[in-house]
Amino acid sequence: MSSGSSSARPPSRPVPRWSGWNLLLLLPLLSLVTPLYNSDKPRLFGFPFFYWLQFMFIPLGVVCVAVVYLRTRERR
Amino acid sequence: MTVRWTELVIFTLLFALVTGLGFYAARWKAASLDHLDEWGLGGRRFGSWVTWFLIGGDLYTAYTFVAVPALMFGAGAMGFFALPYTVLVYPLVFLPLVRLWSVSRVHGYVTPADFVAGRYGSATLALLVAVTGIVATMPYIALQLAGLEAVLRTMGLNGSGLAGHAPLFVAFVILAIYTYQSGLRAPALIAFVKDTLIYLVIIAAVIILPAKLGGWGSIFDAADAKFAATKTPADGILLGANNQLQYVTLALGSALALFLYPHAVTGALASRSRNVIKRNMVALPAYSLILGLLALLGYAAIAAKTKPIVNAATGRPDSNTVVPMLFEGQFPAWFAGIAFAAIGIGALVPAAIMSIAAANLWTRNIYKVYLRRGATAEQECKQAKIASLVVKLGAVVFIVFIDPQYAIDLQLIGGVIILQTLPMVAIALYTRWFHIWGLVAGWAVGMGWGLVMLYGIPNPTTGKQHFGGSALALDKLSILGWHPLSGSPIQIYVGFVALLGNLLVAVVMTIMLRQMRVFNGTDETNPPDYLEDEGSPRLRPVANMLR
């Protein structure tokens, strides 16, 4: 996808890539706060809260990384 | 001992299929396999899909299928740390990994130690990273062996003594030969088959098992009842007061460790561009979902009243066999055979990738630097192939001498070791502030302290006094004989403690050495090197990557 576009770039131009969007990558660290989810109730489809909430962190992580990827993608 | 023939025949057929693929792989996208870049990095032409299967096949291993469910079966919620671990890892490594890819392509680095050598201009530091990587890989491969062996024993190949290990040995020799032949292409191609099998088995398992066992609700209730009936307060379907810190440090420590392993770096460096890596960081969590569901099979096994097999070699119940036995008890024989093949192949693919990566380290950073400076490309590749065999043997030695309570501790011990390279590799992607000798001192302290702590952890099931696990009670935490947290029963992951010690020493030493203006090596990299992408003329063409 990117192969055609990047060859047009001047060779040694370093692009400053820091973007505020990168901070989103810190959000999944919430999954380390055990008191947040260390309980049985409420259950969802039989899964205790401890388990289903942690499963929910997977889509959260995917969304955070995907947004950062799309927002910081190298432009042509 | 009865052999389960149906399962064994299906297992053998599928195993023969992937072996054929392994040899065929040598011709896939053909190029000269006498060249390390071809043998060891598959020519660095892997696009998003191949990379996804490769890194996935490489990260989700017997660890996921055997070791994590076994820990859930035995200890409960503690084992679920693997889920936050795999949630955290991708956001954490997203930025550093693409920097590593770029700088590696500009300077022709193939291993993490190459990078350290270029960044610090220090052969000593590179040697430490190489040796650490090779040693840390061995227990991780040993875990794969344990998973494969669990499947073989479940199928009835449960002999005692040395003869009992024969089937495992045969499987491993086959693996060794085709890795030798085809290099990284073999596991990359097999990973497709492996993942297809795994997905098939998982989907069947997570739909059919809860239905048979009365739904997820009653599975959790059965697990709860089992843990409530045991005397130890440490288990249960929720975390207790003493193991939350352990849960957090295990998840974070494992996430920080993962992409320090040479095999994970190899998978990333084999991709075609920065975007391939980035897209993979978005897509790889699909495996996390599966990991979480597989972990819960440990509870399903409790609900199904699965009994682990008594290992004829040790005479004790082998908790690694709970998932295979669950499939054996709940599914028809032919499907159990497919599941066993999935687990077995799922252990072999990463074992191959890991041994190749460790072999790259040996060849590039030890053999070429210390033993034969003017080695030709063929000699170098030959060395790597031989080294991949030696590393596999090292794994066998590990499994014989280290016998922790849970197989997962093999991987966690590997984590304690590899984490000590974090300041040299990961932090160096961002800053050259640390002093070479500060890093060396930090490494020495972290490694020494980590191993001393591991040595002191007993295994309650076997009665052995040493290397029984990876969790340390803060009560036992000793800083040169001083016990600052005496009396506290709270547990923590050894790797995390050792890394903190490492960083502290590295910082203090660096401040001192900088004050004294001790020479700190020459950095051959420049800030723009960390940003170059596919198509840039500054990237080295694959053909002359080797200096």
Does residue A67 fall inside a structural domain?
yes
Whether residue B237 and residue A48 make contact (CB cut-off 8 A), yes or no, is yes
Does residue A14 fall inside a structural domain?
no
Q: Three-class SS of residue A50?
A: helix
Determine the residue among A24, A27, A34 to mutate to test chain B binding: the one whose Cβ has the most chain B Cβ atoms within 10 Å: A34
- For residues B275 and A68, what is the distance between their CA atoms, to the nearest angstrom? 12
- Residue of B346, B535, B503 whose CA lies nearest to B438: B503
Q: What is the pLDDT of residue A11?
A: 47
> How much helix, strand and coil, in percent to the nearest 5, is found in chain B?
70, 5, 25
Cβ-Cβ contacts under 8 Å, A61 against chain B: 87-88, 90-91, 285, 288
Does residue A65 fall inside a structural domain?
yes
Contacts of B546 (CB under 8 A, 6+ apart): B35, B36, B37, B108, B377, B380
Q: What is the pLDDT along chain B (547 residues), one digit of tens a residue?
A: 578 888 888 988 988 888 888 777 766 655 555 566 666 665 556 666 767 776 776 667 888 888 999 999 988 999 999 999 999 999 999 889 999 999 988 888 888 998 999 999 888 899 999 999 999 998 888 888 888 888 888 888 777 766 667 777 777 787 777 777 777 777 777 777 888 888 888 888 888 888 889 889 999 999 989 988 887 777 888 888 888 899 999 999 999 999 899 888 877 887 888 888 888 888 888 888 888 988 999 999 999 988 888 877 777 788 888 999 999 889 999 999 999 998 888 888 888 888 888 888 888 888 888 888 877 777 877 888 888 888 888 887 777 777 777 888 888 889 999 999 999 999 999 999 999 999 999 999 999 999 999 888 887 777 777 787 888 888 777 777 778 777 778 888 999 999 999 999 999 999 999 898 888 888 888 888 888 887 777 877 654 444 3
- For residues B223 and B301, what is the distance between their CA atoms, to the nearest angstrom? 9
Backbone angles phi, psi at B485, to 5 degrees: -120, 35
Q: What is the pLDDT of residues B196-219, one digit of tens each?
A: 888 888 888 888 888 889 889 999
- For residues B235 and B242, what is the distance between their CA atoms, to the nearest angstrom? 10
pTM of the model: 0.88
Q: What is the pLDDT of residue A8?
A: 44
Cis previous bond, A42, omega within 30 = yes
Chain B touched by A10 (CB under 8 Å)? no
Each residue of B399-429: b (16+ CB within 10 Å) or e?
beebbbbbbbbbbbbbbbbbbbbbbbbbbbb
Q: What is the pLDDT of residue B346?
A: 85
Please give the domain boundaries of chain B with CATH numbers for all domains. 10-425 (1.20.1730.10)
Let me know: does B380 contact B36? Beta carbons within 8 Å. Answer: yes
Q: Three-class SS of residue B156?
A: coil
Residue B471's DSSP bridge partners are: B493
Whether residue A14 and residue B88 make contact (CB cut-off 8 A), yes or no, is no
Let me know: does B274 contact B150? Beta carbons within 8 Å. Answer: no
Number of CB pairs < 8 Å for A and B? Answer: 126
Residue B462: count other Cβ atoms within 10 Å of its Cβ. Answer: 13
CA A1, chain centre distance (Å): 21
Total domains in chain A come to 1
Which ipTM was obtained for this model?
Answer: 0.85
* Structural domain harbouring A31: 26-76
Q: What is the pLDDT of residue B58?
A: 64
Q: Three-class SS of residue B479?
A: strand
Is residue A5's pLDDT more than 50?
A: no
- Residue of B495, B335, B527 whose CA lies nearest to B431: B527
Identify which of B80, B285, B536 has the shortest CB distance to residue A58: B285
- For residues A8 and B7, what is the distance between their CA atoms, to the nearest angstrom? 56
Residue B134: count other Cβ atoms within 10 Å of its Cβ. Answer: 25
Does residue A62 fall inside a structural domain?
yes
- For residues B250 and B180, what is the distance between their CA atoms, to the nearest angstrom? 34
Each residue of A21-44: b (16+ CB within 10 Å) or e?
eeebbebbeebbebeebbeeeeee
Average pLDDT, rounded, for chain B: 84
- Residue of A35, A31, A68, A66 whose CA lies nearest to B87: A31
Does residue A15 fall inside a structural domain?
no
Let me know: does A36 contact A30? Beta carbons within 8 Å. Answer: yes
Whether residue A54 and residue B248 make contact (CB cut-off 8 A), yes or no, is no
Residue type, B215: G
Cβ-Cβ contacts under 8 Å, B217 against chain A: 43, 45-46
Let me know: does B70 contact B302? Beta carbons within 8 Å. Answer: no
- Give me the residues of A, 19-38, that contact B with CB < 8 A: 22, 24-29, 31-32, 34-35, 38
Cα distances (Å, whole numbers) of residue A53 to A30, B83, B292, B397 = 11, 11, 12, 40
Whether residue B535 and residue A48 make contact (CB cut-off 8 A), yes or no, is no
Does residue A21 fall inside a structural domain?
no
Identify which of B215, B219, B275 has the shortest CB distance to residue A1: B275
Cβ-Cβ contacts under 8 Å, B279 against chain A: 69
Give the CB-side neighbour count of residue B439, counting CA atoms within 13 A: 28
Does residue A17 fall inside a structural domain?
no
Does residue A72 fall inside a structural domain?
yes
- Residue of B287, B263, B253, B291 whose CA lies nearest to B82: B291
Q: What is the pLDDT of residue B439?
A: 94
Find the distance separating the first CA and the last CA of chain B, reported in whole Å: 56
